[in-house]
């Protein structure tokens, strides 16, 4: 991976600088949210505190998602790939342990994805495609009554984030590929990876045994 983030930052000016500042504000807001959620969890009654069980399962699900991310059915030319439901373990963890643990783990997974190999064309695109996109999987924690719904919503949120990034920062690629609309190109490009994987994850999440495993992770929340 050729990490060119700092080179891209040095080239910013005008509207691009404003966009980067806006994206940075979003990233900071996510971090503040994570800290706030962790603080609330720590102040909650003992039954709801983040305990050793949450940490162990968090590490296990992060590791499993990271390993599965290397099992790629195919890769796209400008970043992105269809993996074997690699985001399901981290989404199940978020669903089982709630917002504090879920968003923290999802944000941590975004860092692992950067280490694995980041595709950077612009600093704002970098923030959207990694920090924001992968942290979206913490949204599954907001739907504790239905695992498939949590998986679907979090996957769609990441898909929407990546589509926006594609329209704004990969419009030239759409023209090169023969598309008149950058939106159509981005919808198809991200649909071939994030969209299909989200559908696969929802299907797997619908299996009775999968929801049962997630509930077993944290019986207190179930």
Question: Is the distance from CB of 79 to CB of 189 less than 8 angstroms?
Answer: no
Residue 152 CA: distances (Å) to CA of 120, 123, 201: 27, 28, 8
Query: Which element (helix H / strand E) includes 81?
Result: strand 81-83
Q: pLDDT category, 64, cuts 50, 70, 90? A: very high
Q: pLDDT category, 5, cuts 50, 70, 90? A: very low
Residue 204 has pLDDT above 70, yes or no: yes
Least confident range from 71-80, 168-177, 185-194: namely 71-80
The confidence score (pLDDT) of residue 81 equals: 83
Beta bridge partners of 83: 72
From CA 122, how far away is CA 12, in angstroms rounded?
9
What are the structural domains of the chain?
5-217 (1.10.1760.20)
Query: Which element (helix H / strand E) includes 138?
Result: none
Two structure tokens written together for 14:
């005008």
Rg of the chain on CA atoms, in Å: 18
* Residue 141: DSSP 8-state: G
pTM: predicted TM-score of the whole model, two decimal places: 0.76
The confidence score (pLDDT) of residue 52 equals: 81
Two structure tokens written together for 45:
């009654």
Q: What is the pLDDT of residues 126-155, one digit of tens each?
A: 999 999 999 999 999 999 999 999 999 999
Q: Which of 99, 102, 116 is nearest to 57 (CA)?
A: 102
The confidence score (pLDDT) of residue 2 equals: 43
């Amino acid at each position: 991976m050729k990490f060119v983030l700092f080179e891209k930052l040095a080239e910013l000016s005008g509207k691009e600088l404003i966009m980067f500042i806006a994206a940075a504000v979003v990233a900071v807001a996510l971090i503040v949210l994570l800290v706030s959620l962790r603080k609330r969890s720590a102040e909650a009654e003992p039954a709801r505190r983040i305990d050793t069980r949450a940490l162990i399962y968090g590490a296990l699900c992060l590791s499993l998602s990271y390993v599965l991310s290397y099992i790629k059915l195919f890769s796209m030319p400008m970043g992105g790939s269809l993996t074997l439901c690699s985001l399901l373990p981290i989404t199940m963890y978020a669903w089982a342990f709630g917002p504090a643990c879920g968003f923290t783990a999802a944000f941590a997974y975004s860092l692992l994805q950067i280490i694995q190999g980041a595709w950077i064309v612009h600093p704002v695109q970098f923030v959207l495609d990694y920090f924001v996109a992968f942290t979206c999987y913490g949204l599954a924690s907001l739907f504790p009554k239905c695992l498939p719904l949590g998986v679907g919503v979090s996957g769609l949120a990441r898909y929407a984030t990546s589509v926006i990034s594609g329209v704004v920062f990969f419009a030239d690629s759409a023209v090169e590929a023969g598309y008149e609309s950058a939106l159509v190109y981005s919808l198809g490009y991200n649909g071939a990876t994030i969209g299909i994987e989200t559908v696969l994850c929802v299907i797997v999440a619908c299996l009775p045994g999968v929801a049962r495993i997630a509930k077993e992770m944290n019986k207190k929340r179930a």
